[in-house]
């Protein structure tokens, strides 16, 4: 796990976009894993600028979403498929038909989850997966207590997650769905490269546990310690609990120029 401490969200966005651009330079048909939330927005903004400037293209790409609420109507602005359309698809040149998400409106949710796992596998797997992290250490909607071997499935959201997300629903927690479909931890771990972004002191304990704590289902993101290629981009606030922060800074400063993230 490589931990990179940055000075701003813009810097994190630049480094994340560097990794995506390098991927598409060598593999134009690569599969990108995309996330909602505030953490990846700087990456999408920077990637959009590069697409508009002709520096990178996602025309041949496929993309898979991490999760989706269950039961939100198709035109609801907070349905994650619509959020991804606004923050990602509208900024780049990817074919919208090549952007996939779990079907939170399916009559048979279990079958929809199986179909989604199959679609990811049929696409050849995810080459680079963007991630955020919750204050309780969840990744995607894998709440504390989630199986580290889990695959795409229905999950019940915790009260904390619903309260955290109420800001997107007029600050009314009762409007936040109680269930979601989410890629499992094992599904996420199957991606070839994981890039996790976090900012602010509210994420500091989760980042500390993820990078330096014991592997535990109580902090689902700690499973990332077992992945061979993880890049963590954190600002000073999110890095404030890291015991090895000075070492992470020294390692990044001394990194060979030829070595990508």
Question: How far apart, in whole angstroms, are the C-alpha atoms of residue 36 and residue 72?
Answer: 16
Question: Residue holding tokens 């990178």?
Answer: 56
pLDDT in tens, 17-55: 999 999 999 999 999 999 999 999 999 999 999 999 999
Tell me the catalytic residues: 67, 136, 138, 143
| Under 8 Å between Cβ of 249 and 6 | no
- The count of residues in the chain is 261
Check whether 227 has a pLDDT greater than 90: yes
CB atoms within 10 A of CB 2: 16
C-alpha dist (Å) from residue 221 to 32, 49, 63, 112, 235: 20, 30, 22, 25, 18
pLDDT digits (tens, 9 = 90+) for 80-109: 999 999 999 999 999 999 999 999 999 999
The predicted-structure confidence for 108-152, as pLDDT tens digits, reads as follows: 999 999 999 999 999 999 999 999 999 999 999 999 999 999 999
In this prediction, residue 260 carries a pLDDT of: 85
Tokens 């048909």 belong to 29
CA 208 vs CA 136, 222, 228, 253: distances in Å:
11, 9, 19, 21
Q: What is the model's pLDDT at position 164? A: 87
What is the reported pLDDT for 152?
A: 98
Q: Which CATH architecture has domain 2-241?
A: 3-Layer(aba) Sandwich (3.40)
CB of 155 within 8 A of CB of 180? yes
Structure-block tokens of residue 168: 């997107």
Residue 88 near residue 67 (C-beta atoms within 8 A): no
Please state the pTM of the whole predicted model. 0.96
Please check the confidence at residue 228 and state whether its pLDDT lies above 90.
yes
Q: Is residue 160's pLDDT more than 90?
A: no
CA 24 to CA 15: how far, in whole Å? 15
Least confident of 11-15, 180-184, 208-212, 255-259: 255-259
**What is the predicted pLDDT for the residue at 257?**
86
Is-contact 144 156, C-beta < 8 A?
Answer: no
The pLDDT of 191-199, averaged and rounded, is: 98
| 87 touches 41 (CB < 8 A) | yes
Mean pLDDT score of the chain, rounded to an integer? 97
Q: Is the pLDDT of residue 249 over 90?
A: yes
What does the domain layout of the chain look like in residue ranges? 2-241
Section 225-239 average pLDDT: 98
């Amino acid at each position: 796990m490589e931990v990179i401490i940055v000075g701003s969200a813009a810097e994190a966005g630049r480094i994340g976009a560097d990794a995506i651009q390098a991927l598409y330079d060598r593999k134009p048909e690569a599969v990108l894993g995309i996330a909602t939330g505030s953490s990846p927005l700087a990456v999408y903004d920077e990637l959009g600028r590069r697409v508009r400037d002709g520096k990178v293209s996602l025309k041949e790409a496929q993309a898979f979403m991490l999760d989706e609420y269950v039961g939100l109507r198709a035109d609801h602005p907070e349905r994650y498929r619509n959020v991804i359309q606004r923050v990602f698809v509208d900024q780049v040149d990817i074919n919208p038909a090549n952007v996939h998400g779990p079907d939170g409106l399916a009559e048979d949710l279990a079958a929809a989850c199986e179909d989604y796992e199959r679609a990811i596998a049929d696409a050849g797997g995810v080459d680079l997966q963007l991630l955020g992290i919750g204050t309780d250490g969840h990744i995607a909607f894998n709440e504390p207590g989630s199986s580290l071997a889990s695959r795409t499935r229905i999950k019940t959201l915790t009260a904390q997650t619903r309260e955290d997300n109420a800001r997107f629903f007029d600050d009314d927690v009762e409007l936040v769905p109680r269930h979601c479909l989410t890629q499992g931890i094992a599904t996420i771990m199957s991606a070839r490269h994981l890039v996790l972004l976090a900012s602010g002191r509210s994420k500091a304990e989760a980042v500390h546990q993820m990078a330096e704590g014991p592997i535990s289902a109580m902090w689902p993101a700690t499973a990332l310690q077992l992945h061979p290629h993880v890049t963590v981009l954190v600002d000073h606030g999110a890095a404030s609990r890291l015991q090895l922060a000075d070492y992470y800074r020294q390692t990044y400063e001394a990194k060979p120029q030829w070595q990508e993230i």
